[in-house]
Amino acid sequence: MSKIAFLGLGGMGARMAANLIKAGHAVTVWNRSPGPVAGLVAQGATAAPSPRAAAEGAEFVLAMVADDIASRAVWLDGETGALAGLAPGALAIECSTISPAWAGEMVAAVTGAGAAFLEAPVVGSLPQAQEGKLIILAGGDAVAYAQAQPALAPLASAIHHVGPVGRGAVLKLAVNSLLGIQLAAWAEMMGFLGKAGFDGPAALDILATLPVASPAAANYARMMLAGDFAVRFPVDLMAKDFRYATHGADAVKADTPVADATLGVLERAAEAGFGADNVSALIRLYTVQ
């Protein structure tokens, strides 16, 4: 059993923390809003008043938050940040989808404080988080990767060591970009088919059997046609990932015209008032007059 701090109890983080508790670890949790904390305490976690307090005495400190800004606050806030609570030899694990640039800043800050760092962004959504079947894309040195296994194993069906810090962020952004590009295209084409007189579900029943349809995209297309916009992956969050991806591509002089165009679609959806909806709401750009 390890002493683990978990910071950030959104839909993904709460499920991940619960799996660490189920695995027998001593888990201390913190969240910006108190609501999710009570549910984890009822499952056996200990509540902490700040990230710093949660990190004190922990062997592993994991964070799962929305973006670079939230990550910076959780780790580096001068009064409450977890970095100040990390013991020498502890391992900081950032599971959030962050930019490669911020991952580089993080590893410098954490190792400078005498602790170790691993980025471990996850692939999967709420069902995979619930079942402990996420895919983890770990970036860091081999020692940190090996050290992290007890904390990561209860969360994942597969853990891939993809290289040094920064590579995990890049690969996760590529994954989300590939998904977002598909969903933007599906929303556009389903809108086109509907206006051309096709019955949407009947057309999708055919398209979903063809090699052009990935299982994930077909699933989101079904949500689109059903008007199911309950949040799994909000438009605003996907747009954030595309901004990180395109900025990261610019940094290495990679050309990403399709990703740039998809970011434009996501921003258009946000401007139309759909930013807090699930990304399946992209269909509303083509069906709402």
Q: Catalytic site residues?
A: 172
Max CA-CA distance within the chain?
A: 65
Judging by DSSP bridges, how do beta strands 26-30 and 91-94 pair with one another?
Answer: unpaired
Q: Transcribe 51-74 into DSSP letters.
A: HHHHHTT-SEEEE--SSHHHHHHH
Give dist(CA 240, CA 31) in Å, integer: 21
Token pair belonging to 97: 């989808």
CB neighbours of 194 closer than 8 A, spacing ≥ 6?
200, 286, 287
Within the chain, residue ranges assigned H as helices are: 11-22, 35-42, 51-55, 68-76, 100-112, 126-131, 142-152, 167-195, 200-207, 215-226, 235-251, 257-269, 284-287
Within 80-199, residue ranges assigned H as helices are: 100-112, 126-131, 142-152, 167-195
Check: CB of residue 98 under 8 Å from CB of residue 169.
yes
For residue 272, the SS3 value is: helix
Q: How far is CA 240 from the centre of its chain?
A: 11
Give dist(CA 7, CA 218) in Å, integer: 33
